[in-house]
Chains A and B, each alone.
Chain A
Amino acid sequence: MTSHPDAHGAPFADEAARAAERAARLSYGRLLAHLARAFRDVTAAEDALGDAFAAALRSWPRQGVPANPDGWLTAAARNRLIDLARSGAVRAEAASTLDLMARAGENGDGPPLADRRLGLLFVCAHPAIDPAARTPLMLQTVLGFDARRIAAAFLVAPAAMSQRLVRAKARIRDTGLRFDLPDAGAWPARADSVREAIFAAYGAGWDAAVLAGGGDRDGLTEEAIWLARVLVDGVPDDAEARGLLALMLFCEARSGARRTPEGAYVPLAAQDPARWSRPMIVEAEEQLSVAARSRSPGRFQLEAAIQSAHVAARVTGRDLSAALVHLHEQLAAIAPTIGSVLGLAAALGAAGRPSDGLALADGLPASRVADHQPFHAVRAHLLEALGRGLDAAEARARAAALADDPAVRAFLTRTP
């Protein structure tokens, strides 16, 4: 697995605990993917591994991560696995997987388990699963997050989130979803929903970080990046998966520069590039250029290319505003969402065409944007560029009132 450079520049409170948790989750996801596929039942697989995982989280931070984490977890889960196999609660195919896993647990040199996590990602994002459950399901099964933590990230009551997850897992078991990768014909749509669900995990992590006042308290953005790596490793020729990974890396690379040490919001144009994570930006650029070779542009590649242009403009001091308008136009053409139209409007403003930008923003359906914070923030910016100070102040006040992030609110209500 690729290492995760620390984007935040701040030392973690307990490095050992985090390392142990990460190793446990990595193993957990791998073993769960195997068992879930063999049982064709996520709940039974979780049942088999649950106690072992909890024991790992208790003991690994103190005693260190064992040399063979998969073997350790399997050995700890062994009796439960044997019970399940004996009671006939698991399908016939499960037996050989249990054998394999038990052997790996005995001497640590059994044959390595093939990585089935990619298949599990596709099950979690299956069209037959409630869209609202897809991302939480990935976090729980592939990463071993508990329902409480997932609920917190999605701002949902823990009981409601548990219920949503239980229902989704019951559907996986009862409807008989396929655990292998989809056929070529179904691939594009299915890969789409996997990427969307991973990006939603990043978004949830982002929102949680905002509410926590800066740092990624839940580690969710980092985990989303990790899921995208699983996808890219498993499907190297999926250009959009690389675009998604690049996009999240670009955003993550700047997370440390988005706040002053005092916690005040710093807009992109005022950020200090020295505080950006260089390794992340380099990796993002690499992913993006590999993706570009396949000449199949898509939403995530375009969004990543926009981030890349912003970085280049800041680092080189060149004016790339015309190129940015072009990228935003392409994005708004293939993914005409409120967000992409507002992005284009802002890009037009930055390229010296604020009246075009304002016309575009004002053409959005009023009912959809009346309470949309970015709409008012972008308008404020455009109105200011047009010299309409009073209207700009009004839009800025509206944007400030709608901002969830206290630092952004403070930024918008400052005296310019």
Chain B
Amino acid sequence: MHYMILFYEPEAVFTDRTKPEMATDYWGAWTSYVGALAESGVVVSGNALQAPHAATTVRLRDGERLVQDGPVAATKEQLGGYFIVDVPDLDTAIAWAARSPSARYGSTEIRPVLPPMAAPA
């Protein structure tokens, strides 16, 4: 079964992670996590994302295109990256989510992926 694991990180982390003193703690933790995931062979795809200040939100209202700088909602924690994993059950996905660095200082969410839609006949 495919699950998306979403890593939510506090706003401050996005600004602090560029500081040199964060190199070992932050990037080290993520590097070993991503390495372990890759080695286990469960990864379908995944990416880290640039900070939320680089986000652009687009809405179409009454035919008008509304483009807004920033993420959909200004929340304390923002999406910092994701993986799609192929594991047998939720329990295994929970185990991987629990190992993620963001589970310690932010939140990690798991969403089952919908099976692909049938092609139109």
Contacts and interface: CB of A to CB of B under 8 A. Distances in A.
Decide if A and B are genuine partners. yes
A128 B94 contact: yes
Contacts of A177: 89-91
Interface in A172-196: 174-178, 182-183, 186
Contacts of B1: 176
A175 B88 contact: no
Contacts of A182: 91
Nearest to B91: A178
B86 to A, nearest CB: 11
B89 A178 contact: yes
Contacts of B92: 178
Contacts of B91: 177-178, 182-183, 186
Contacts of A176: 1, 3, 88-90, 93, 112
Interface in B59-115: 88-95, 110, 112
B75 to A, nearest CB: 23
Interface residues of A, number: 9
The dominant DSSP class at the A interface is: loop
Nearest to B87: A176
A183 B89 CA distance: 13
B117 to A, nearest CB: 16
Nearest to B1: A176
Interface in B1-54: 1, 3
A258 B1 CA distance: 53
Contacts of B3: 176
A178 B88 contact: yes
25 contacts: A128-B90, A128-B94, A174-B112, A175-B90, A175-B110, A175-B112, A176-B1, A176-B3, A176-B88, A176-B89, A176-B90, A176-B93, A176-B112, A177-B89, A177-B90, A177-B91, A178-B88, A178-B89, A178-B90, A178-B91, A178-B92, A182-B91, A183-B91, A186-B91, A186-B95
Given A174-B112, A182-B91, 9 more contacts: A175-B112, A176-B1, A176-B89, A176-B93, A177-B90, A178-B89, A178-B91, A178-B92, A186-B95
